[in-house]
Structure formats: structure tokens, C-alpha cells
């Protein structure tokens, strides 16, 4: 009995599924022609909510936790640290959302293109029946992006994009920085609660005591929820990178046909070669250098 993965491969060989009229149209793209953006209503709403939650945390941290503090050095240091991490988190989110994750050109499954590949006798290429594209190894079709994505890990509505070969670095940085600012906000809120219990509540905030308590409780709830979620996601992504196996490949238990590399080399494939401070920057595009993205077992 064939596995689901093998059955899908057999379907992709059937020529009847490759007719252009059977292909779904691609989602609307930005008119600029350079910026990738998926116009999915759910993803757009999730992206806006993400930014609003970060801005809410900024508001509470600055106006409730830091400005009323008597220690100027404490306020300056924590304000600089929190705002810097929040900026990097939002920048990483924007790069993960607006970077082409590795979409395969749509509709390139033509006779002329296949002939140009100069395939060896017995060599098999797979064609996606949904977007009429030659499907590279380790590529999967996304029903939301309506494209085949190279090394697709999953589609994340919070970044309104697939996590794939070209934007996985930015997604990992996004989860890391969100986890860090969540932890930082929880620590500052805990110190603030202790200070307010020891002092008069009216002196530890520019807001009324009830409003201060509500704002802090909501911040703690948000911080704890996102700390757990993003820390788990960050750990999952790092494990996926080190093992060189995407989330979909793990879920489908696909046969491994690519060469095994060291964990450090797998990290360089995603974050760039060689190791540098640019690994932590959402503004630096990874330079693979000697890190070969695709190495297959012959």
C-alpha cells in the first residue's frame, strides 16, 4: 500500500492534471512588482493584531512601568532595551511578511521549459497540478499563497506568508525577539507590582490605581501567552533547521533524499555564511557563500 506522499507523486505524473484550465489563478500581488504580499483577509487581520499588541505593550511599558519610575538610569536602560527589541521584532515581522518565501514561477510546466532542462534518461521531474509549475525537490504547494514554495515549512497567518527557503531567517528572528520582549515586559511588571505594593499606588503610576492594575494584568497575560507561544515556535524552528527537515516533511514523513550536513552548516544555510552579527539583523539578507542549499544523495 502506497503512502499519501507517494500517491501525490503519482498524481503529479498524470498529464491530465497539467492543463492550464485546471490551474487556480495566483493571489493578487503588489503592483510594485518587487514586494511580495499575500492578500489574504485572515492573514492581514492577524498581522495587524500582531502590530497592535506590540504597540500596546510599548504603551504600558513606557507610560506605566518606566516613566513613573524614580530611577532615571533604570528607566533609560530598560526603555532603550525594550524599544530596541520591539523595533527588531516588528522589522523581522515585516521582512517575513513581505519577502518571497521561495515561490516557484507559476505556469512554467511547458514543453519548451522541460526540454530546456536537458533531463537525463530516467530522470523524473514533478509538476504541480494546481499551479502548473515544475515542482523542485522539497517544494510544496500552499493553498493560501496558491504557489509552490521551496523548502516550505508551514503557512503562518501571523506573518501572512509561508515560511520557506528565503524568509525562514526573518521568521525565526521574529519569534525570538517577541519572546525576548515578552520576557522583559513580564520581569518589569513583576518589579513594578512589588514596588507598588510597598509604596502608595497613587505614586507608582500616572494612572489611577484600578486602571494601572488592569493595564498591568493585560500586559502580563499578553506577555505570558506570547512568551510561551513564540518560545516553543522558536525552538521548533531551530530544531527543524538543525535537522534540515521542514515541518511538512516531518509531518508527511517524507523519504530523505538529500545529503546530511552538520547542524552548524544547516544554520549557515538559513542565516548566512559565515557566522556574523548579521545573523541577528532582519535587515541583512543571508549570504549562503559556501553553504550549499541543496545537496542530494545520488
* Under 8 Å between Cβ of 154 and 167: no
Distance CA(294)–CA(157), nearest Å, equals 27
156 catalytic per annotation = yes
Residue corresponding to grid cell 531567517:
169
The closest of 29, 204, 221 to 106, measured between CA atoms, is: 29
Catalytic one among 23, 98, 156, 196?
156
Distance CA(288)–CA(56), nearest Å, equals 37
Got the DSSP string for the chain?
---HHHHHHHHHH-GGGG-GGGSPPPPP--TTSSS-----HHHHHHHHHHHHHHHHHHHHIIIIIITT-S-HHHHHHHHHHHHHHHHHHHHHHHHHHHS---BPPTT---HHHHHHT-PPTT---EEETTTTEEE-TTEEEETTTTEEEET--EEETTTTEEE-TTTHHHHHHHHHHHHHHHHHHHHHHHHHHHHHHHS-GGGS-SS-HHHHHHHHHHHHHHHHHHHHHHHHHHHHHHHHHHHT--HHHHHHTPPP-B----HHHHHHHHH-SS--GGGG-TTSPP--TT--S--B--
Catalytically annotated residues: 156
Amino acid at each position: 500500500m502506497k503512502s499519501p506522499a507517494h500517491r501525490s507523486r503519482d498524481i503529479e505524473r498524470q498529464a491530465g492534471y497539467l492543463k492550464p484550465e485546471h490551474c487556480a489563478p495566483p493571489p493578487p500581488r503588489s503592483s510594485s512588482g518587487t514586494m511580495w504580499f499575500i492578500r489574504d483577509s485572515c492573514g492581514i487581520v492577524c498581522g495587524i493584531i500582531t502590530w497592535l499588541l506590540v504597540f500596546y505593550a510599548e504603551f504600558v511599558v513606557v507610560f506605566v512601568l518606566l516613566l513613573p519610575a524614580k530611577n532615571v538610569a533604570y528607566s533609560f536602560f530598560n526603555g532603550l532595551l525594550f524599544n530596541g527589541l520591539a523595533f527588531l521584532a516588528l522589522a523581522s515581522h515585516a521582512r517575513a511578511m513581505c519577502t518571497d518565501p521561495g515561490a516557484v514561477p507559476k505556469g512554467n510546466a511547458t514543453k519548451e521549459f522541460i526540454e530546456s532542462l536537458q533531463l537525463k534518461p530516467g530522470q523524473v521531474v514533478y509538476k504541480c497540478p494546481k499551479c502548473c509549475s515544475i515542482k523542485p525537490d522539497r517544494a510544496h504547494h500552499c493553498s493560501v499563497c496558491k504557489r509552490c514554495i521551496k523548502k516550505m515549512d508551514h503557512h503562518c497567518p501571523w506573518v501572512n506568508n509561508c515560511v520557506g527557503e528565503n524568509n525562514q531567517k526573518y521568521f525565526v528572528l521574529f519569534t525570538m525577539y517577541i519572546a525576548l520582549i515578552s520576557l522583559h515586559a513580564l520581569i518589569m511588571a513583576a518589579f513594578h507590582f512589588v514596588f507598588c505594593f510597598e509604596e502608595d499606588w497613587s505614586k507608582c503610576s500616572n494612572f489611577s490605581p484600578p486602571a494601572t492594575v488592569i493595564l498591568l494584568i493585560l500586559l502580563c497575560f499578553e506577555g505570558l501567552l506570547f512568551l510561551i507561544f513564540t518560545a516553543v515556535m522558536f525552538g521548533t524552528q531551530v530544531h527543524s533547521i538543525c535537522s534540515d527537515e521542514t515541518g511538512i516533511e516531518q509531518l508527511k514523513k517524507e523519504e530523505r533524499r538529500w545529503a546530511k550536513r552538520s547542524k552548524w552548516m544547516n544554520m549557515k544555510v538559513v542565516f548566512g555564511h559565515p557566522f556574523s552579527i548579521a545573523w541577528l539583523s532582519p535587515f541583512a539578507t543571508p549570504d549562503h557563500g559556501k553553504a550549499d542549499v541543496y545537496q542530494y544523495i545520488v
